[in-house]
Chains A and B, each alone.
Chain A
């Protein structure tokens, strides 16, 4: 079973409108973290937003917010007031638990959603 599922291969949104990119995850860990990254056509991976499993409030970073529904195991990214520069691939990722004594961890990525913003 996939640990991170992004069901929307591609999305279109009108400039200045809001858009929601879906992400569901699968884990049995109690402590985990969820991340969203943006990859524009230039190729770099840009960190957008983080949500911890114990965070009671949804994370927000400027125009980005994360709609975290723990019981549903979903962590959808909401982009408000879309801009042309938001056109990119968006990846959801999960960090599960921590390797005891080793100090670090792995990220598992979804397959991504390609967002196109229409003028």
Chain B
């Protein structure tokens, strides 16, 4: 079975440009999470969706960040305009709302390494 798919794997852009990161969760999973990983701050949850509905976006750093999940198999994280401090690895993860305790494990995609010059 395919795992979580993210694209692009690497993105280099210039300050001020719009960046769109994409994620396809594992088929059948109904929860999707966007994380950001930096050396300084570690892994931070940005936003998560349940059944395509945003549940908690309190981790989104500012209005320049937005996320959508138009259907169960696709989500985007957009940064507009991008700034150098947005440089990080962005992970998408998915899970299924559990019937039992193991099913709520979050499975991560390979990440997108974003560099903003």
Contacts and interface: CB of A to CB of B under 8 A. Distances in A.
8 contacts: A43-B113, A44-B108, A47-B105, A50-B102, A95-B104, A102-B55, A103-B31, A110-B42
Interface in B61-117: 89, 91, 93, 95, 97, 101-102, 104-111, 113
A99 B56 CA distance: 10
Contacts, number: 58
Interface of B is mostly: strand
Interface string A74-113: 0000000000000000010001000100111111011110
B42 A106 contact: no
Interface in A10-48: 33, 35, 37, 43-47
A102 B51 CA distance: 9
